[in-house]
Chains A and B, each alone.
Chain A
Amino acid sequence: MTSESLVAAATILAFGLIVLGVALGSAVGDGIVASKAVEAIARQPEARPNIFTFLFLGVGVLEAFPIIALGLAFYLLLVVANVPALLTHLSAAH
């Protein structure tokens, strides 16, 4: 195994791990926010517009973190390690 293929494999693995983590975390977080909002609306239906406002605020603030992590993961994949160029180089050498 050459060092180039090692770098490509490790970067793709790291990309997968980052996407796994942020997808899992943001899905659980969104689920908690939505379930609490449904509970609150069921308890106090007249407070529905207020709850919707804070539901969207919470989801908007929460969704920023997976998006930032996804951006950093793509930066790792495409700029730091430049995996597409590495893969073309590896398949040409094969």
Chain B
Amino acid sequence: MKEEIGSHTLWQLPIIGAVHGDTILTTWLAMAISLILLAIVGASYRSPRAGRAQTVFEGVIDYIADLVSSSLGKRGEPFVPFFIALFLLIFLLNQFGFLPLKALGLPFGGSPTADVNTTLAFALMVWVIIQVTAIRQRGLGAYKHIFQPWFLSPINLLEELVRPVTLAARLFFNIFVGELLYIIIASIIVAKVSIGAFNLSLAAAILPFFIQFFNFFVGTVQAFVFTLLGIVYLSLATADDH
């Protein structure tokens, strides 16, 4: 059994160049799982009784829809499905680190969000959607606030440009360090360390449970934070007056 962190299988594609194959495969798997799951939940609407899965999903969807409409108002309605999809997909991708798929020898596994390419792609997608929406709603006046006090314009511009980077780095580091902690504890257990009469490996054997619980919590909170920050940035960019 050997599971490594930070190493990816490389695919050589004709035009793009080298890509991380395992990340892409795991993301496709997560997309297939979420599509099947949502199809099952959607099919339950054909029966008059509300099932358990339907109730849980309606809670999540109501919560995010309320968030969007409370910070964006009427204009936010077209973005509700986008943010729900963003939250569900990031949540699912974060929890993929639970399954020891790579240790079983499969070509996919691990959290795709522990790869900075995935999180940067998500952050850039959110950022581009925000810019396009702002320009479509208010024209070039959307960028007026950057030059509002003219001597602060470099700082305002930097603040605008650094948002996708912090959004990506926050999600990436949280998931990556969660997996890193897990691997380090696993290597301590496997190494059979004992200091004098104290068996360190045996004592560390209880830790993976708590670390995985922590990872589950962190994955949920970070998916939520990513979605909510996207909503907040969108509401800042499309606000009528400053």
Residues of A near any B CB (own CB < 8 A): 50, 53, 56-57, 59-61, 63-64, 67-68, 70-71, 74, 78
Give the complex CA separation of A53 and B177 in angstroms: 25
Q: What's the nearest-Cβ distance from chain B to residue A70, in Å? A: 6
Residue from A50, A56, A60, A74 having most chain B Cβ neighbours under 10 A: A60
Which residue of chain A lies nearest to B221 when distances are taken between CB atoms in the complex?
A60
Give chain A nearest CB distance to B166 CB in angstroms.
8
Point out the residues of chain B lying under 8 angstroms from A64, CB to CB.
169-170, 173-174, 222
Would you give 26 A-B contacts (Cβ < 8 Å), ordered by A?
Answer: A50-B70, A53-B228, A56-B225, A57-B225, A57-B228, A57-B229, A60-B221, A61-B170, A61-B225, A63-B174, A63-B221, A64-B170, A64-B173, A64-B222, A67-B173, A67-B177, A67-B178, A68-B169, A68-B173, A68-B177, A70-B177, A70-B181, A71-B177, A71-B180, A74-B180, A74-B184
A68-B173, A70-B177, A71-B173 are known contacts. Are A56 and B184 too (CB-CB below 8 A)? Answer: no
CA distance A65 to B184 in the complex (A): 20
**Complex-state Cα separation, A63 to B218, whole angstroms:** 9
Q: Which B residues lie within 8 Å of A78 (CB)? A: 184
List B residues 134-176 near A (Cβ within 8 Å): 169-170, 173-174, 176
A53 to B232, CA, bound (A): 12
What 13 new A-B contacts, CB under 8 Å, besides A59-B221, A60-B221? Answer: A53-B228, A56-B221, A57-B224, A57-B225, A60-B222, A61-B229, A63-B174, A63-B221, A64-B170, A71-B173, A71-B177, A74-B184, A78-B184
Q: Name the residue on B nearest A57 (C-beta).
A: B228
Decide yes or no whether B67 CB sits under 8 A from chain A.
yes
For chain B, the bracket of interface size reads 10 to 19
Q: Of residues B181, B218, B225, B229, which shows the largest number of chain A Cβ atoms within 10 Å of its Cβ?
A: B225
B180: which A residues are within 8 A, CB to CB? 71, 74
Complex: A7 Cα to B174 Cα, angstroms: 29
Given that A53-B67, A63-B218 are known contacts, is A74 also in contact with B224, CB under 8 Å in the complex?
Answer: no
Q: How far is it, in angstroms, between the C-alpha of A71 and the C-alpha of B5 when the chains are bound?
A: 12
Query: Which residues of chain B in 15-74 are interfacial with respect to chain A, using CB atoms and an 8 Å cutoff?
Result: 67, 70
A70 CA to B224 CA, complexed, in Å: 22
Chain B: minimal CB distance from A8 (Å): 16
Question: Which has the most chain A C-beta neighbours within 10 Å: B177, B221, B222?
Answer: B177
Q: How far is the CB of B191 from chain A (nearest CB, A)?
A: 9
Interface centre among B169, B170, B229 (most CB of A within 10 A): B170
